[in-house]
Structure 1
C-alpha cells in the first residue's frame, strides 16, 4: 500500500489536538461567546488560528456536530444551531458489560458499516484513502508492541466511515465512541486474555477491508467488513469465556 506511515504517537497526538480544539470551540458556544446562528470561522482560519492541521479541524467540528451544537450547510459553512448539549446518544445507556447488549450492538454495526465500506470504496478521496492506510499502520505498530489498540481500532473504522463522504455514517460511529470497540470494557480480565493470534486475525481482516477500499472494490469491501464484524461476534464470545475461566 502507498501512503506515509503514521506513528502510534502521532495518531495519539492528533486525537489530543482534536479533543483540545473541540473543547475550546464547545466552550465558546456554550458560554454564548459564539451565539446561535453565527457561522464558525472557516476551516482555513481555524487551522491558522490554532496551529493545527485541517484534519484536526474537521474532526473537531465533526465532534461538535455529533453533539448537536453545529451543522454544516452546503456551500455556506458551519453554523451554530444550539448552545446547550443534547441529552446524549441513545446508545449511552447500552451496558456493554452485558454480552447480550454487546452482541446486539455488533449486529447493528454490521447493518451500518458493511454499506459504509462499500461506499468508501466507491467514493474515497486520495487523502481519505491515505488516512485509512496511515491509521492501519499505526494500529499494527501498537499491536506489535503489545499496546492498547482500542483507540486506533476505532480510528480505523471512523476513517472508513468518513471516506463514504456521507456524514451520517461518521456521526453514527461518533455517537458510539469507544463503545464501538468494547473489548477493553468487557470486564473480568477479558482485555488481558487477548492473544497474539487474536491480533493477527484482526490485522488480516483490517487489511482486507483497506485493500478492497484502495482497489475501489465495493463488493469486496462490503464482504471484508461483514466478515470482520461477524467474526467479532464470535471473538467477543470467546473473550468472555476465557475471562470467566481466568477468574476461577
Structure 2
C-alpha cells in the first residue's frame, strides 16, 4: 500500500513544469530512476502504467516504453506479464547506479553546502515552532517516518526519502505552510552526482546512517517534550554535523 501511495504521489509531482531536454526518453528515464534511487517509489511498488506516465510527462507511449526498458536493463524494474512493471525488491546500491566521473562533482558539493547553510537558518526555527505547536497527529507522522527510516537502513534499502519525510513532518507541525513550501523547493531535481554524494554522506556506511537516525530521534524527543529551545539547538547541531560530513566528503566517503 505504501508503495502504491508513493506511485500516486509521483504522478502528481513528476511533471513539475521544468524544461524538457531534446531526448524525451532520457528525461523520463532520469526522473523515474531518481525517484527509485531516492526511495520515493518503494521496492516492489507497481509503477503507473504507460498511459498514465505518458500523460504526466506529455510524451508518447513509445517514449515511456523506451525509458522503462532502460530501467529494466539497469535492474531497477521488472515486468510481470499481465500485471505491470514493478520496482525491484532489492534496489542496487546507489554507487552502482551513478557514473563514477560524476561522483566528486565539486559544483554539487558547493550547492549542497549552500543548501545546508539555508536549512540551518530555516529548520532550526521550524523545529522551535514545531515543539510549541505540534499535535498528536504531527508526532505520529514523525514517528512513522523514523520507523520507516530505521527499517530501510537496517535492510540496506534507500532511506533518504524517509529522512525527507521526517523533516517535512516537522515543517507541517508548525502550522505555517510557508515552511513546507520552502523545504519542498529544496527538493528540486537532483543530479546523479548529488544523489550519490548525499547517500554516502548520510547513510553509507551503515553506522553513519545510524548516527543520523539517533540525531533525528533526539529532535523528536525534544519536540514531543515541547522543549522549543532544545529542539532548535538539536536541529541546528544535526545540520551542522551534516555540513561537517559534507566538508569531509572525498573518494573514501
Aligned partner of 1:127 among 137, 141, 146: 137
Q: Does 1:18 align with 2:9?
A: yes
- Are the aligned partners of 2:130 and 2:174 in contact in 1 as well (CA < 8 Å)? yes
Distance in 2, matches of 1:147 and 1:178, equals 22
Describe the superposition over 1:75-107 as per-residue Cα deviations: whole angstroms up to 9, x where unpaired: xxxxxxxxxxxxxxxxxxxx9853222111101
For structure 2, the residue ranges without an aligned partner over 5 or more in a row are: 17-104
1:217 to 1:236, Cα distance in 2 relative to 1, 3 A: same
- Are the aligned partners of 1:143 and 1:199 in contact in 2 as well (CA < 8 Å)? yes
- Are the aligned partners of 2:108 and 2:194 in contact in 1 as well (CA < 8 Å)? no
- Are the aligned partners of 1:97 and 1:185 in contact in 2 as well (CA < 8 Å)? no
Distance in 2, matches of 1:96 and 1:110, equals 21
- Are the aligned partners of 2:201 and 2:245 in contact in 1 as well (CA < 8 Å)? no
For structure 1, the residue ranges without an aligned partner over 5 or more in a row are: 1-8, 27-94, 244-248
TM-score (norm 1): 0.58
Q: RMSD value over aligned CA atoms?
A: 3.1
- Are the aligned partners of 2:124 and 2:235 in contact in 1 as well (CA < 8 Å)? yes
Q: Secondary structure at the match of 1:147?
A: coil
Aligned partner of 2:154 among 140, 144, 153: 144
1:232 to 1:191, Cα distance in 2 relative to 1, 3 A: closer
1:99 to 1:120, Cα distance in 2 relative to 1, 3 A: same
Moved more, 95-104 or 213-222: 95-104
1:193 to 1:153, Cα distance in 2 relative to 1, 3 A: closer
- Residue 22 of structure 1 deviates from its aligned partner by 6.1
Distance in 2, matches of 1:185 and 1:140, equals 20
Distance in 2, matches of 1:227 and 1:130, equals 23
1:99 to 1:200, Cα distance in 2 relative to 1, 3 A: same
Aligned pair count reads 164
- Residue 177 of structure 1 deviates from its aligned partner by 1.4
Matched with 1:235 is 245
Q: Secondary structure at the match of 1:134?
A: helix
Distance in 1, matches of 2:11 and 2:215, equals 32
Describe the superposition over 1:164-200 as per-residue Cα deviations: whole angstroms up to 9, x where unpaired: 11001000111111679x962429x947981122012
